[in-house]
Amino acid sequence: MYLIKKIIKKVLPKSLLYSYYKYNSYKKNNAHVGTGVECTICKSQFKYFQAYGLVKRQNARCFTCGSLERHRLLWTYFEEELDFLRKGTKIKMLHFAPEKMFYNHFDNMQNVAYIPCDLNPEEYNYAGNTKTMKVDITKIPFKDETFDFIICSHVLEHIPDDKLAMSELFRVMKKGGTGIFQVPIDYNNEDTYEDFSITTPEGREKAFGQNDHVRLYGRDYKDRLNAVGFKVKEDDYVLKFSKKELKMYGFIPSELIYNCTK
Ligand SMILES: [Zn+2]
């Protein structure tokens, strides 16, 4: 390829060379243009989703809103399965580590009293009506039974005392409330793998799969949530979709949704 490029450079006049490069960069930047896949959040269509991840996953990331497989699945679940969202019921909602593509929707919903929050709110400084609030998940600054709906996705694997965090989530949830609490899980392991002597980024990446994770959850994840009082439904909602739909929306067919109620 290098040789071909070298020859082309030599034989083509400058003006044609410019067109050649322009065409190539157009081709490269627009290779994903098409209608094979559709983002369930921003409704953009492409030939495929962008490959993404430490170990690259094909058909993963939306070129427009940046959603990954899990975001698109959750959003579809919210719209189809959570009655209070579907019906526009008035709710009070707490959202940890607020994903931008969700924030944009919730921030604009008249029926949702929305509180996005994080320990580092400056990382979630979005242009919207609602400012992200500083909240330590192990010491949530709200009264008991405040929220109807809580989203906390891919947060607990970063928290050393996850039991305390879970009990705080339980405390601030109203009776009859719902929480969606996703974490990365290795379903090959019965037990969650924790070793608090591993503290370096390299060590954590090797042991837990990412340099800022403090554990790798196993199949006992739901037991941990149960232990603080939640009723946990491991929802295999994703199985409702055909093979063709899984590919079209870029869902991961093994992804369970942790629907926790009080
Ligand atoms: Zn999108």
Residues 202-235: tens digit of each pLDDT: 999 998 988 999 999 999 999 999 999 999 999 9
* Cβ atoms of 154 and 71 closer than 8 Å: no
**Predicted confidence (pLDDT) at residue 14 exceeds the cutoff of 90:** no
| pLDDT per position as a tens digit, 97-147 | 999 999 999 999 999 999 999 999 999 999 999 999 999 999 999 999 999
SS3 102: helix
SS3 95: strand
**Predicted confidence (pLDDT) at residue 4 exceeds the cutoff of 80:** no
- How many Å lie between the centroid of ligand 1 and the Cα of residue 110? 22
Question: What's the rounded Cα separation, in Å, for the pair 193 and 261?
Answer: 25
* Cβ atoms of 262 and 230 closer than 8 Å: yes
- How many Å lie between the centroid of ligand 1 and the Cα of residue 68? 8
Strands (E), 188-245: 193-194, 215-216, 231-235
Count, in order, helices (H) and strands (E) of the chain: 9, 13
- How many Å lie between the centroid of ligand 1 and the Cα of residue 64? 5
Q: Which residue has the tokens 């969650």?
A: 192
Question: What's the rounded Cα separation, in Å, for the pair 155 and 226?
Answer: 18
- How many Å lie between the centroid of ligand 1 and the Cα of residue 33? 14
Phi/psi-derived region of residue 186, left when phi > 0, alpha when psi is between -120 and 50, beta in every other case: beta
- How many Å lie between the centroid of ligand 1 and the Cα of residue 41? 5
Confidence of residue 34 (pLDDT cuts 50, 70, 90): confident
Task: Give, as one character, the DSSP assignment of residue 169.
Answer: H
Helices 14-29 and 2-11 pack at an angle, to 10 degrees, of 140
- How many Å lie between the centroid of ligand 1 and the Cα of residue 248? 13
Beta bridge partners of 37: 46
* Cβ atoms of 67 and 74 closer than 8 Å: no
The mean of the pLDDT values for the chain is: 92
- How many Å lie between the centroid of ligand 1 and the Cα of residue 40? 7
In the chain, the domains with their CATH numbers are: 2-61 (no CATH), 70-261 (3.40.50.150)
Write down the pLDDT at residue 67: 97
- How many Å lie between the centroid of ligand 1 and the Cα of residue 103? 13
- How many Å lie between the centroid of ligand 1 and the Cα of residue 211? 27
Q: In the chain, what percentage of residues exceed pLDDT 90?
A: 84
* Cβ atoms of 150 and 173 closer than 8 Å: yes
Write down the pLDDT at residue 152: 98
Q: Is residue 56 exposed (0-12), middle (13-18) or buried (19+ Cβ within 10 Å)?
A: exposed
- 132: tokens are 């992200």
| pLDDT per position as a tens digit, 52-74 | 998 899 999 999 999 999 999 99
Containing H/E element for 152?
Answer: strand 147-152
CB count in 10 Å sphere of residue 198: 17
* Cβ atoms of 247 and 180 closer than 8 Å: no
**Predicted confidence (pLDDT) at residue 249 exceeds the cutoff of 70:** yes
